[in-house]
Amino acid sequence: MAAAAGGYAGAAAEARFISNAKGKGLFATRNIRKGETVFVERPVVSSQFLWNALYNYRACDHCLRALETAEENAQRLLGKSSLVLPHPEQCSTRKDLHQQCPRCQVTYCSAECRQAALEQYHQVLCLGPSRDDPTHPLNKLQEAWRNMHYPPETSSIMLMARMVATIKQAKDKEWWIKVFSQFCSKTTNEEEEIVHKLLGDKFKGQLELLRLLFTEALYDEYLSRWFTPEGFQSLFALVGANGQGIGTSSLSQWVHACDALDLPMLQREELDAFIDQLYKDIEKESGEFLNCEGSGLYVLQSCCNHSCIPNAETSFPENNFLLHLTALEDIEAGEEICISYLDCCQRERSRHSRNKILRENYLFTCSCPKCLAQADDADVTSDEDEEGEGETDDAELEDEMTDV
């Protein structure tokens, strides 16, 4: 895998400015066929969610590749250490390649990831022998964040910490500041709404506590504006608005590999039945929390606008932070490439319900062709919509953004 931070491969798209109201969008630079990979993008920075890591969802500290074998993954999720998976040769985990930081013992999937982390941010963030010291400023910051942002998680204070650490370590600090400035910015009122969504009703006091702990752990004179109340809120909102969920799973990789096996019909039916039952049992034990989860900042992906009838979708088929954008239908050169911020079930709800979710979570009202065609529909179209209006399922939104 590529070790450097940021970048994309084989892009058939480019970002273009649309308008002040809509900002940027992503447009096809050539004709793209349904099922084709539009691009594969590496984040400029990423981080595993803190509760996810605390509950032993073991992932590479740099690229978030799941570190357990498929069998270990299934045993933990099922709470059954005696479980044996068939076709163990289909597990892609390479434990022989795993490495640890010699100072703080965080684990990486490879020497390349350990080196990439060290060169980009880990020199600043390495806790050394203080990894389990609750009084260390970075540990105090992480504990405060966990006490404010419970599962289902949608962001991490450590994504911001890695942004700061990246610039502190960089020789060309201005280059990195320009990279981060590419992500969409918000007005002060919009920033407050994003922070409110992440931290809840007491967000102002909590944001100030986080700022003080963030300053104690990471203050840098060169980035002094990021540590002021206004600058910290802007940084927080940047991550909240642009962070893309990442999901990885050794078990999912094993299932995909098993699906591709050429088996006699009876063996195929037995294997499919085993996998179906395994997922049902896991759901009873662990609920919807199946993946190693985190978030990252992706320059190209962040330019993708929403549509309720998307022509592309994101996924993480390589079991790490490499984001694949895939065409859901044929896309012509010059056509805007859109993804959906809603899951499949939410996209089938009324225009009123869809836009309520989008306003609450992403601060905009959709004007895609589907919404325009339904503009004259009643505000609420069914009893089901009325019943579901009271709450937005953050877990469902997160699942949609972290498809493996």
For residue 387, pLDDT over 70 is answered with no
pLDDT digits (tens, 9 = 90+) for 298-334: 999 999 999 999 999 999 999 999 999 999 999 999 9
For residue 25, pLDDT over 90 is answered with yes
- Average of per-residue pLDDT across 13-26: 89
Alpha carbon distances (Å) from 187 to 19, 20, 160, 191: 16, 12, 19, 6
Q: What is the pLDDT of residue 1?
A: 38
In CATH terms, the superfamily for domain 1-42+298-340 is SET domain (2.170.270.10)
- Average of per-residue pLDDT across 261-278: 97
Using alpha carbons only, what angle is made at residue 197 by residues 192 and 199, rounded to the nearest 5 degrees? 90
Predicted confidence band of residue 382 (pLDDT cuts 50, 70, 90): very low
For residue 19, pLDDT over 90 is answered with no
Q: What is the pLDDT of residue 268?
A: 97
Q: How many CB atoms lie within 10 A of CB 212?
A: 15
In order, the DSSP letters of 348-360 are: TS-HHHHHHHHHH
Cis geometry, peptide bond prior to residue 129 (ω within 30 degrees of 0): no
Q: What is the pLDDT of residue 399?
A: 44
Helix axes 203-218, 137-148, angle to 10 degrees: 160
For residue 266, pLDDT over 80 is answered with yes
Q: State the average pLDDT for the chain.
A: 90
Q: 66-99 burial, b for 16+ CB within 10 Å, e for fewer?
A: bbbbbbbbbbbbbeeeeeebeeeebbebeeeebb
Contact residues for 329 (Cβ-Cβ < 8 A; gap 6+): 34, 311
CA distance 366 to 305: 10
The mean-pLDDT minimum among 82-96, 103-117, 378-392 falls in 378-392
Contact residues for 369 (Cβ-Cβ < 8 A; gap 6+): 307, 309
Domain with CATH 2.170.270.10 in the chain: 1-42+298-340
Q: How many CB atoms lie within 10 A of CB 42?
A: 23
